[in-house]
Amino acid sequence: MKASRRSHDSQGRGLSGLILLTLALIVSAAEPPIPEGPWEGFPRTQPEIRYESDLGANKNYVFGVTKSFPPYKDPDRAEVEDLKSPLDNPAFSSYNLIVIVNKSTHPLWGPGQTLRVYQRGKGLLYYWLISSGAKGHETTSGYFRPLMFSSRHWSGKYDAPMLWAVFFNGGMALHSSLDRESMREMGQAGASHGCVHVEDYRAEELFHLVGQSGFGSVDVIDRQQGLKTGAKVASYRTLIIVGPTQYWDTRSSVKASPSQPRSQKKTPATSPQKKHRVDPKKPTGSPPQKRKH
């Protein structure tokens, strides 16, 4: 019996490894070759399956982001504190971190162009403004797991930086935006080429939250329905939900379909800062301008 179990476990690990390799190939195929050489004096990174393999991985990272690059400001948490927590769904019990990207305003999903982070044992951790894909480049809705990490990624397709990138669907990633215009658009309308733009400090925090959410066997969640398929896979214990999509709580009487965009006042334009914090994994020059990806 013990030998049979060892054989079964070995086969399971082999299958999980094959799945991870396949996902890595999908991400690589979605991105043209990345330019070689440093960017502003710092090395570019290639997508890595494991967080620990990325140059930006930091087990001593101090969580609790409060800083931000202007003109970005966090929205009021009171807007979403009454929304149902996905942590309460038994189907998601194998996940320690759940990230909800909401593209348009809906009574179940909350305000559009926002991102919420839920952490097991703590509940709602963060509520941020984001910018998802623009019309014609919409970010795909559904239930996803993190595929690869690249803290100093460079988009070969759009020739632009994608700092603190966490890929979750082919070439689509959660990543930093240092573009002032993009930050002014956060919380208002989709403006990217499919990725989810997050303010730089928050993208860094999210990168480490996902990478340190634990790695092990998780329940496979159906991408469209949000239900357990019965299968398990080796993955980081983070579930990324892009909505509105099929709502995870089937007991709800409200149909989870897109509604009107979130209404929000535009943040007055501010002149770019000339100085930025010094970080060994970040550029020290002025942030890139008007590059969207």
Q: What is the pLDDT of residues 177-226, one digit of tens each?
A: 877 777 888 988 777 778 999 999 999 999 999 999 999 999 999 999 99
pTM beyond 0.95: the answer is no
Query: Tens of pLDDT along 130-182?
Result: 999 888 889 999 999 999 999 999 887 777 789 999 999 999 999 998 777 77
Strands 160-169 and 172-177: what pairing?
antiparallel
| pLDDT for the residue 161 | 86
Q: Rounded distance, CA 199 to CA 218, Å?
A: 29
Cβ neighbours of residue 38 closer than 8 Å, sequence gap 6 or more: 44
User: Domains in the chain, start-ordered, CATH in brackets?
Assistant: 9-243 (2.40.440.10)
CA torsion 140→136→27→23, rounded to 10°? 30
Rg for the chain, CA atoms, rounded: 19
Q: What Cα–Cα distance (Å) separates residue 103 from each residue in 44, 114, 252? A: 30, 7, 20
Q: Rounded distance, CA 281 to CA 293, Å?
A: 21
3-state secondary structure (DSSP) of residue 255: coil
Write out the two tokens for 21.
């390799």
Q: Rounded distance, CA 212 to CA 51, Å?
A: 8
Q: Facing residues of 233 across strands?
A: 218
3-state secondary structure (DSSP) of residue 52: helix
Is residue 25 predicted with pLDDT exceeding 80? no
Distance separating the N- and C-terminal Cα atoms of the chain: 53
Q: Is 181 exposed, middle or buried (0-12, 13-18, 19+ CB in 10 A)?
A: middle
Sorting pLDDT into bands at 50, 70 and 90, what band is 259? Answer: very low
By percentage, how much of the chain surpasses pLDDT 70?
Answer: 71
3-state secondary structure (DSSP) of residue 30: helix
DSSP for 67-107? Answer: ---TT--PPPGGGTTTSPPGGG-GGGTT-SEEEEEE-S-BT
Q: What Cα–Cα distance (Å) separates residue 148 from each residue in 77, 174, 215, 247, 270? A: 29, 11, 13, 26, 34
| pLDDT for the residue 182 | 78
| pLDDT for the residue 18 | 55
Q: Which amino acid is at 22?
A: T
Report the residue count for the chain.
Answer: 293
